[in-house]
């Protein structure tokens, strides 16, 4: 999770640096050149109200700092909220993976706990003490599984409309960035700034869909791990618990964007396709 947090932290700051470094460098050069041919940019990187004029090199640098402070603070907030959401998704997926291993090794771990024989007198079924231990393990694992599923449901309830708004907004931003990139010269400063911004915007839905896909993937294959446990010699109570648990897990577990689409890699591809379709429409309309 550390590397994803660093990426979330770096991308908005790279976007802001790409916007602020060129005009700051220009203002510094104007200060050193004096009455040279170089001129200050006509406006700041982002539209905002500044309570003083910025028609000289020093005042322009002060205006950049005045505007950059809140923008970088906003970048910290965005990266922190995104990293928190990604962390919760990874935590849910990680716990589901742990539960998969717990189901798979339920008999082995139960054998280590019992002090009596492994087999019943007929040699075909588990002993009573082993059955009791396996049923106890099954109850404990199912409680943990229900806690994880409830956490997934709570996260879905809290974030689904936020994610829907975020994905919808990013989709339009990507479309706008593609249009701007197609209209500016490749060697211009704006081109590279827009490319950095485009990558930063594309990473957000990619991470959301990647981690949401991991939750769906881990939950989908949970019944397979339960089926692979050594259950043939278990008693009827254990087998009934298996059937009930597998039936419960037959319902897909997923995080969604406002109940419209599951957060999977397929959804990410659809988002990119839709953004490109909007871009081609705008491009053809503009031509």
pLDDT of residue 180: 84
Neighbour count for residue 157 (Cβ, 10 Å): 9
pLDDT recorded at residue 74: 82
Angle at 192 between CA 190 and CA 196, to 5 degrees: 115
Residue with tokens 């700092």: 65
Cβ of 139: how many Cβ atoms within 10 Å? Answer: 11
**Quick one: angle between helices 128-183 and 265-286, nearest 10?**
10
pLDDT value of residue 282: 80
Q: What pLDDT is stored for residue 37 in this prediction?
A: 63
Report the number of secondary-structure helices (H) and strands (E) in the chain.
Answer: 8, 0
**Positive/negative CA dihedral, 260, 263, 266, 272:** positive
DSSP state of 37: S
- Written as six digits, the tokens of 183 are 């209209």
Please, are residues 238 and 138 in contact by the beta-carbon 8 Å criterion? yes
What are the structural domain ranges in the chain?
Answer: 79-286
pTM of the full structure: 0.85
What CA–CA distance (Å, rounded) separates 55 from 31?
A: 12
3-state secondary structure (DSSP) of residue 142: helix
Q: pLDDT tens string for the chain (287 positions)?
A: 677 788 888 888 888 888 888 888 888 887 877 655 667 887 888 888 888 888 888 888 898 888 888 888 888 888 888 888 888 999 999 999 999 999 999 998 998 888 878 888 777 788 889 899 999 999 999 999 999 999 999 999 988 898 999 888 888 888 888 888 888 888 877 788 888 888 888 888 899 999 999 999 999 999 999 999 889 888 999 999 999 999 988 888 889 988 888 999 999 999 899 888 888 888 787 65
H-state helical runs in 184-264: 189-220, 222-227, 236-249
């Amino acid at each position: 999770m550390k590397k994803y947090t660093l990426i979330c932290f770096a991308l908005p700051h790279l976007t802001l640096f790409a916007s602020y470094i060129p005009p700051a460098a220009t203002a510094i050069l104007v200060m050193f050149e004096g009455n040279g041919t170089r001129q200050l940019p006509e406006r700041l990187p982002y539209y905002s109200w500044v309570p003083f004029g910025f028609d000289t090199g020093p005042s322009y640098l002060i205006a950049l700092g005045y505007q950059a402070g809140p923008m970088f603070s906003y970048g910290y907030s965005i990266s922190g909220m995104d990293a928190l959401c990604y962390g919760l998704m990874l935590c849910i997926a990680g716990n589901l993976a742990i539960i998969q291993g717990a189901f798979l090794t339920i008999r082995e771990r139960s054998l280590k706990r019992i002090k009596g024989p492994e087999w019943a007198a007929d040699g075909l079924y588990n002993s009573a003490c082993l059955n009791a231990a396996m049923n106890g393990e099954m109850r404990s694992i199912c409680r943990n599984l229900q806690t994880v599923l409830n956490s997934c449901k709570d996260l879905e309830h809290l974030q689904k409309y936020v994610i829907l708004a975020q994905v919808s907004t990013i989709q339009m931003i990507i479309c706008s960035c593609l249009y701007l990139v197609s209209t500016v010269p490749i060697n211009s400063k704006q081109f590279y700034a827009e490319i950095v911004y485009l990558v930063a915007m594309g990473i957000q839905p990619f991470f959301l869909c990647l981690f949401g896909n991991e939750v769906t993937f881990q939950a989908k294959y949970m019944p397979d791990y339960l089926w692979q446990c050594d259950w043939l010699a278990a008693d009827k109570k254990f087998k009934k618990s298996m059937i009930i648990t597998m039936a419960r897990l037959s319902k897909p577990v997923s995080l969604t964007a406002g109940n419209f689409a599951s957060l999977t890699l397929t959804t990410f591809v659809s988002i990119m396709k839709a953004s490109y379709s909007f871009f081609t429409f705008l491009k053809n309309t503009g031509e």
